[in-house]
Structure 1
């Protein structure tokens, strides 16, 4: 006989509610509280433009000129050589990205959340110059998607805002 009891599935939502679990995308969740109310800082490079674009896709673009919240992001990237041949030719690169972020109330400047996320992507440099440049551009786009996802996940998981 199996020790699994279906009644435990009925008790599980109660247990999660008791521990303070609240779905992010519920009507009163954090996603609803931030949706369309966050103004992301202006980009100053191609990479930050891609990051801001991805953040706005996930958080919703602020309908108001001011926005209720300001999300300030600072992006740094670093390219590292990998897979260097005996002829000192690089066949692979890693791009390491780090985003420092701070979410503030627009009216008061109160910091609601801040932190940093980092990740990396790799690309091949073994082909022609055109292939390598296309691979690098694609890798930067992928990195900005990953970093934007991480920032939004951190905001959703750490904030406790009323909808």
Structure 2
């Protein structure tokens, strides 16, 4: 009976690999040729307070797209982070903060310098304001990193839309 099960499982495994089956949550789609042709750049003039967010957005995009060694297009991003106190307590101190990241992007053809696509995406998260300043700083840094990842994903969705329409 065990040999029969092993044979059936082996047959199923071989059949699924031969049919082109890929797991639902497998990282797919971003290895397409269009995305391999993109080099990531940070826009000039990013203010000091936005440099950390810019670094994380750039890293998230490079993780998803690669280094763009044979790039035909430049993706120029300009992240802008902001923080707003919400939920003011009785002693006029914020109990929560809204952290936002606005990522403006431009897709540029390397040869002609022509602007192919541009836009802006926004990611927002709320954190609790700790009374410990170190805990608040750690929470802000972790949230900025998560927002950068979310912002990068939102830019890639927009680029996927651009490439899908450009191919038609």
TM-score normalised by length of structure 2: 0.72
Q: Which structure exhibits the higher relative contact order, with contacts defined as CA atoms closer than 8 Å and separated by 6 or more residues?
A: 1
Give the paired residue count. 133
Mapped partners of 1:40, 1:91: distance in 2: 37
Mapped partners of 1:126, 1:104: distance in 2: 43
Q: 1:130 aligns with which of 129, 134, 152?
A: 134
Maintained 8 Å contact 1:77/1:95: yes
- Structure 1: stretches of 5+ with no match in the other structure: 1-23
Maintained 8 Å contact 1:31/1:156: no
* Structure with greater helix percent: 2
- Structure 2: stretches of 5+ with no match in the other structure: 1-27
Mapped partners of 2:161, 2:146: distance in 1: 23
Mapped partners of 1:101, 1:31: distance in 2: 20
TM-score normalised by length of structure 1: 0.74
Q: Counterpart of 2:73? A: 69
How far the C-alpha of 1:68 sits from its partner, in A, is 1.4
Who wins on radius of gyration, i.e. which is larger?
2
After TM superposition, the structure 1 = structure 2 runs for residues 11-26 of structure 1, keeping only pairs within 5 Å, are 25=29
The range that moved more, 68-77 or 40-49, is: 40-49
Q: Counterpart of 1:55? A: 61
Maintained 8 Å contact 2:87/2:94: yes
- Regions of 4+ moved over 6 Å: none
